[in-house]
A and B are shown apart, each in its own frame.
Chain A
Amino acid sequence: MVNELEFEKPLNQLREKINELKAFTTDSEVDLSEEIAKLEERLTRLEEDIYSSIKPWDRVQLARHPERPTALEYIEELFEDFMEMHGDRLYGDDHAIVGGIARYKGKAVTVIGHQRGKDTKENIKRNFGMPHPEGYRKALRLMKQAEKFKRPIICFIDTKGAYPGKAAEERGQSEAIARNLFEMAGLTVPVICIVIGEGGSGGALALGVGNHLHMLENSTYSVISPEGAASILWKDASLAKQAAESMKITAPDLKGMGIIDEIIPEVRGGAHRDIKTQAKAIDQVLLRSLKELSKMDEQSLVAQRYDKFQSIGEFTKETV
């Protein structure tokens, strides 16, 4: 099977067996319906077992699944009249970030997202969803535009990280990311950020300073990839699985730490199994968020964002 995930192997083996039996019954006179029913029951139970005890490393695999729906696919499902806008007005147009204006339930919004490709050709065009400074500067330009026209901003986060390259450094990758954090803090319109795949470090956060932050159930958000962490901490990238556990990078982990607002439940087996149903789940949370935030005035939006991020961090104060 193409793109088979390690933890789904037992399920696929069982499914194969059921299919074999079914094929056998149609070709012969033997009645195996009882056996098949039993196996199907077992499959259901196994599915429940596997998907209810999904491990962090399994989620990493799901978040990186090549067929996982991308920002543009969700935009297509959730919005009408999307008009993509290009360019940072400074240097280039980064295809690793898309953005533009669209209608959500009839009203105008600005939508921005990291954009991966789904095949090699598109991945090359989109630089595997790893932005250069011009991507972040385009995003900021569109956010400022949204602010001018008083439109809410919705960001879809899905990147392994900002692109580690020579040209990116020359053009100020750090400045571009920093500028976004700084400017997003002051936006006077609602900002809602949703992690839909991988939330890779600063490159993800540069679209992530929102009033509300939500994560799809099987998405991840971390300071570094599990492979990167393993090689830095233990000088061994093969310990990525272990790092994924220790680093607390899953949606339930982040919810537990009070960093995200809501976990958006995923279709069983991952968002790629059924994008329409997945989009509906996002739609519900997005609408709830917008309803709540659109009641707030400009000042309260900025203040809420300030408070939200000021409260993050764990420490003890020693008593003197």
Chain B
Amino acid sequence: MLKDIFAKKKKYATIPSEHDKNDVPEGILTKCPKCKKIIYTKEIYKNHKVCLQCGYHHSMNAAERIECLADEGSFQEFNQHLTSENPLGFPDYLEKLEKDKKKTGLNEAVVTGVCTIDGHKTVLTIMDSTFRMGSMGSVVGEKIADAVRVAEDQNLPFIIFTASGGARMQEGVLSLMQMAKTSIALKRFSDKGGLIVSVMTHPTTGGVSASFASLGDYNFAEPGALIGFAGRRIIEQTIREKLPEDFQTAEFLMEHGQLDQVISRLDMKQKLSVLLSMHEKGGESW
């Protein structure tokens, strides 16, 4: 149950900040990594974890995301008990999974289900980068493909919020194939007229960006999100060039024709609601 996810989480966790050198008391205050302002953590949470000063979007886990998008109490989770095996017998993999399960209260890096957004019923799929960097293995692939099948069977829109470092190395080529598995599921859904909305959040990279994240009828992103296929370091090493500061940000992608809109988290629910309503049948004919 989703309740379990909430129960296992502290209500107000400290938001990790790269530049935070323990000069701020844990938990109560949070230093914004962008504008460096120290703000009451509680205030940031009230503002959907968007910095009140500069609009920086702190990362959100799946439970927080669902809380700020789905109508209260409407989210019903699918496949919450699917868990990964260790198909390649990778050393320490199961231990790492166990550790992240404890840390996050999740079974895997994606939560799927159905909910209403301002009364519009939709399948909602949320990736969580706090679990194994949101990487995609067999369970992530299966849960997403299955959520698409539900959308197809029940004639519902499919909305996905992506956040992922890419492939799950420990599952080798099985992980790679999840890109095709999810994309094929989306293709059949799309051919039947299904609505696909992808919202890329920080970070959406590698195999996830090169599959379902980019396959929306509408591709959106949150401001400042890192989105790209290859990592910055790999590109810099390959081309022996320093890349611009804004390289692979949502804004950069927007400028390069890859996104329909960059949407602030504060407007997200309202915009999705309008979009969903415009894809519902009805209205008098002209």
Q: How many residues of B contact A (CB 8 A)?
A: 23
A121-156 near B? 1/0 per residue, CB < 8 Å: 000000000000010001000000100111000000
B284 touches which one: A81, A83, A106 (CB < 8 A)? A106
B154 to chain A, nearest CB (A): 18
Please state if B278 and A86 are interface contacts (CB–CB under 8 Å): no
When distances are taken between beta carbons in the complex, the residues of chain B under 8 Å from A294 are: 285-286
Shortest Cβ distance from A84 into B: residue: B261
A90-122 near B? 1/0 per residue, CB < 8 Å: 111100000001011111100000000000000
A281 at the interface (CB under 8 A from B): no
When distances are taken between beta carbons in the complex, the residues of chain B under 8 Å from A108 are: 278-279, 283
Please state if A86 and B218 are interface contacts (CB–CB under 8 Å): no
Known pairs A105-B286, A287-B286; A89 contacts B258 (CB<8 A): yes
Known pairs A106-B284, A290-B286; A87 contacts B278 (CB<8 A): no
Q: Is the interface of B mostly helix, strand, loop or mixed?
A: loop
A88 at the interface (CB under 8 A from B): yes
When distances are taken between beta carbons in the complex, the residues of chain B under 8 Å from A134 are: 257
Please state if A107 and B257 are interface contacts (CB–CB under 8 Å): no
Most A C-beta atoms less than 10 A away, residue of B275, B279, B285: B285
* Alpha-carbon gap, A117 to B234, bound state (A): 41
A291 at the interface (CB under 8 A from B): yes
Residues B173-232 near A (CB distance < 8 A): 190, 193, 195, 217-219
Residues B253-279 near A (CB distance < 8 A): 254-261, 271, 274-275, 278-279
Residues A52-109 near B (CB distance < 8 A): 81, 83-93, 101, 103-108
Please state if B260 and A86 are interface contacts (CB–CB under 8 Å): yes
When distances are taken between beta carbons in the complex, the residues of chain A under 8 Å from B256 are: 87, 91-93
When distances are taken between beta carbons in the complex, the residues of chain B under 8 Å from A101 are: 275, 278
B257 touches which one: A87, A105, A287 (CB < 8 A)? A87
Please state if B255 and A148 are interface contacts (CB–CB under 8 Å): no
B195 to chain A, nearest CB (A): 7
* Alpha-carbon gap, A101 to B259, bound state (A): 15
* Alpha-carbon gap, A69 to B190, bound state (A): 37
Known pairs A81-B274, A294-B286; A89 contacts B279 (CB<8 A): no
B residues sitting closer than 8 Å to A (CB atoms) are 190, 193, 195, 217-219, 254-261, 271, 274-275, 278-279, 283-286
A residues sitting closer than 8 Å to B (CB atoms) are 81, 83-93, 101, 103-108, 134, 138, 145, 148-150, 287, 290-291, 294
